[in-house]
Structure 1
């Protein structure tokens, strides 16, 4: 069915002299003032102009942006959004009962873009997630339909191609943020990876194939998370967790749970974050390498730090450190190569920041900045922003502003919605010093950097 163009929105944008990029920027800024995070871009605006749907909260931000521009009240109805459609409730919203159901869910998810109007911070209900985690922990693997009749025979060369693609997209994610390659990755997953899972293969190839597919699927979840589409990310991650049960890939499954903990912690859902982190550590125990166990323990420390449980966080950090000391005793998968001393120290500086322990946070953040390879631009940006927050916590205003400026100056990390939130959080924390000239300069630097990002 063809969609009717949104003439009301087009007319008001023309009257306001607002470009697609300019309006998108105003919408993001308005959302941030309300404590919300939306991933609106000029592409989103064009989709609305073409008659696409919109989430009701986002529609209110559009109306607010145009009201400010035109200096009169504009309602969602005035811009053609009288009844914004609710998000599809069933989108990847269950832990599949079978392998075919799991593949169908993943195919459905891969048909949705980051701009499909998903609610930005609505995760699946606790009961549904807890049930899925319990099922993953106690259920037996499906087992592969080895040498089943199919039109295509899959070999190790196909698996190698998927792994190479995964490494490439992971590299793009580290350098430029999740939104940069998500669309291409989604297309690759749906057109190239999912069809292979319905092919014919030997047991050896099948095990490798499903492991490689899970890596791509989890990266889709992670990149959606990084752009701020938390509903889509949550469903990708839960569906990928189910995919790991096909061949009983416990280490990958535990990794998915730690990613889900990371997301819940970011959204302030501390109790959920703690449960998921502990499930990750328990699910990986006896199956994961020491390096992976270090990662899982670090995420537990992050959740406990948010909960202000200093004793529990200290225990988890100690465990993470001890596991990393044993990292060279086992062979790790390629996807775990980023987990090194720099990554661990970076997790620890977040912990001490959240625990409001200024001196320790500064010490670990300084070390994280020094150790982080610049190729991990987003991680380096995070560490610098945590260092800035830690210096502010210590009363070192000038040092904090200088550090934040260095983080923003890098530019690449700004393409991550998560990094933008780190910056916005620091601006809010430092706003009590709004009359300070260094703070004013930083705010102008941030405005200029975001404007340049809009023009790219």
Structure 2
């Protein structure tokens, strides 16, 4: 629904989907294609927070013309094509004014018409008007590289308040993101007591969008840098999320988004605790997410919470609980129709069976996971599963064989996982290589283990993960008797010089 400031000369929003863009995605899932868009953006120095939901909106025709950052990325991905070739409407027909050439960068700090933020809902991304006011290449600009794509246009609190929210995501760290975004609504979440003492306005779509973006940002930072430096800072957005639930909302659709966002944020924070060795904290956060899923009747969130609970139980030495949690996750996930999700959950179950030394149970679960994975991606795959590709499948299978003591087989899968991993995901690359080093060391190949261990040490300049450091410490202990083997002493000396984490 257009606002009253939209002129009648603007064409109505099209109802037809963008079939040209859908063909370009081919067999990739929306999540996989979104990951390719983010990689392409990094190649040209852009940063866009593209996800499966954004791809869905483009393909549905809701985004008639992308903002300039996305335009540059898409034209880089598909050289020789124009925006029209990609299925988008000409910018002039969307904006109601002359379009710039596609290769022309938006002029910095150009004044924008006062009605720009009120144009037809879905006609283009809500940041489009903002992009004319700020230079997207200026690292000090408050909107630098932030790329919102949630439909805020019809919310009554959208104008100034949503601008503050968006800028807070760019200028604030993980700890202040959600809290800063709520300041215009009279909410200060510096502590639980402060949250309780303030009168909170009812939450709307802007707050739900802030919550969803906090989840994405935490996941992105974890992929690149690991959990250790993030866990403490992620607690503030989580407190904010549950304060928003207490504040309430007038619309059920917004309430559903808030519950889902709070639950996913609890899982993300739980994972940061898990990966940094704080198992009790992780268990608490996962239980909180599970309770949230039950209150809101969200089977997708329930499956995700049980999935992570199974993983934690395996790492904490409770393999039978891992099996039960993974099976509960599969029961919750079956109605969702995502083979890839069921594949991941079968791997979680396999990890539990391996911990119980039940080789037959483990092999059956692994075979099921492989068969489900081979069915391919689906439109119903959850957004949080973008990490689950062939590399992760190989890495989790390697962990199962390692637990069962089949070191050569574990090493083969770990080597494959490291080779398949996108190097942008530094944490996972370090994890798979650390798994490979440990399997090689325990399998009697100390020289190869030392070489892999040195590669992990190189990656630790970018990654902070107690889990990976614990694995590497175990490898070092296994290699101590082999100090004279080629490369082993170099690895042991470098490992010994690492600063010890508290």
With structure 2 as the length reference, what TM-score do the two structures score? 0.57
1:282 maps onto 2:301 in alignment: no
Instruction: Summarize the Cα distance change of 1:381–1:413 in structure 2 as closer, same or farther, 3 Å threshold.
Output: farther
Contact 2:241/2:258 (8 A) holds in 1: no
Secondary structure, in 3 states, of the residue corresponding to 1:449?
coil
Instruction: Summarize the Cα distance change of 1:169–1:265 in structure 2 as closer, same or farther, 3 Å threshold.
Output: same
**Counterparts of 2:278 and 2:438 in 1: how far apart (Å)?**
25
Instruction: Summarize the Cα distance change of 1:151–1:261 in structure 2 as closer, same or farther, 3 Å threshold.
Output: closer
Contact 1:366/1:387 (8 A) holds in 2: yes
Instruction: Summarize the Cα distance change of 1:397–1:232 in structure 2 as closer, same or farther, 3 Å threshold.
Output: same
Contact 2:447/2:485 (8 A) holds in 1: no
Aligned residue for 2:209?
160
Instruction: Summarize the Cα distance change of 1:322–1:182 in structure 2 as closer, same or farther, 3 Å threshold.
Output: same
Q: Identify which of 452, 456, 459 aligns with 1:407.
A: 456
Aligned residue for 2:375?
326
Superposed CA deviations along residues 218-268 of structure 1, whole A, max 9, x for unmatched, are 111111112212111111111111011122111221221121121121122
**Counterparts of 1:346 and 1:201 in 2: how far apart (Å)?**
45
1:432 maps onto 2:481 in alignment: yes
Residue correspondence of structure 1 range 48-87 to structure 2 within 5 A: none
**Counterparts of 1:385 and 1:308 in 2: how far apart (Å)?**
23
**Counterparts of 1:160 and 1:268 in 2: how far apart (Å)?**
37
Residue correspondence of structure 1 range 38-57 to structure 2 within 5 A: none
Secondary structure, in 3 states, of the residue corresponding to 1:285?
helix
Q: Quote how far apart the aligned CAs of 1:110 are.
A: 7.1
**Counterparts of 1:184 and 1:389 in 2: how far apart (Å)?**
31
Q: Identify which of 169, 188, 194 aligns with 2:237.
A: 188
Instruction: Summarize the Cα distance change of 1:110–1:385 in structure 2 as closer, same or farther, 3 Å threshold.
Output: farther
**Counterparts of 2:256 and 2:192 in 1: how far apart (Å)?**
22
Q: Quote how far apart the aligned CAs of 1:330 are.
A: 3.0
- Structure with bigger helix share is 1
Q: Quote how far apart the aligned CAs of 1:215 are.
A: 0.8
Q: Quote how far apart the aligned CAs of 1:151 are.
A: 5.5
1:230 maps onto 2:279 in alignment: yes
**Counterparts of 1:420 and 1:414 in 2: how far apart (Å)?**
10
Q: Identify which of 453, 457, 470 aligns with 1:421.
A: 470
**Counterparts of 1:293 and 1:390 in 2: how far apart (Å)?**
27
Superposed CA deviations along residues 55-97 of structure 1, whole A, max 9, x for unmatched, are xxxxxxxxxxxxxxxxxxxxxxxxxxxxxxxxxxxxxxxxxxx
Higher relative contact order (CA 8 A, sep 6+): 1
**Counterparts of 1:300 and 1:223 in 2: how far apart (Å)?**
21
**Counterparts of 2:311 and 2:461 in 1: how far apart (Å)?**
22
- Paired residues in the alignment total 309
Superposed CA deviations along residues 199-218 of structure 1, whole A, max 9, x for unmatched, are 22312111122111111111
Unpaired runs of 5+ residues, structure 2, are 1-188, 194-198
With structure 1 as the length reference, what TM-score do the two structures score? 0.63
Aligned residue for 1:214?
263
Instruction: Summarize the Cα distance change of 1:288–1:224 in structure 2 as closer, same or farther, 3 Å threshold.
Output: farther
1:373 maps onto 2:451 in alignment: no
Residue correspondence of structure 1 range 289-304 to structure 2 within 5 A: 289-304=338-353
Residue correspondence of structure 1 range 164-175 to structure 2 within 5 A: 164-175=213-224
Contact 1:251/1:292 (8 A) holds in 2: no
Aligned residue for 1:344?
393
Residue correspondence of structure 1 range 249-260 to structure 2 within 5 A: 249-260=298-309
Superposed CA deviations along residues 379-430 of structure 1, whole A, max 9, x for unmatched, are 1111111111222343222111111111111114652111111111111222
**Counterparts of 1:268 and 1:151 in 2: how far apart (Å)?**
42
Alignment root-mean-square deviation, CA? 2.5
**Counterparts of 1:341 and 1:389 in 2: how far apart (Å)?**
21
Contact 1:210/1:247 (8 A) holds in 2: yes
**Counterparts of 2:203 and 2:240 in 1: how far apart (Å)?**
15
Instruction: Summarize the Cα distance change of 1:110–1:166 in structure 2 as closer, same or farther, 3 Å threshold.
Output: farther
Unpaired runs of 5+ residues, structure 1, are 1-106, 112-149
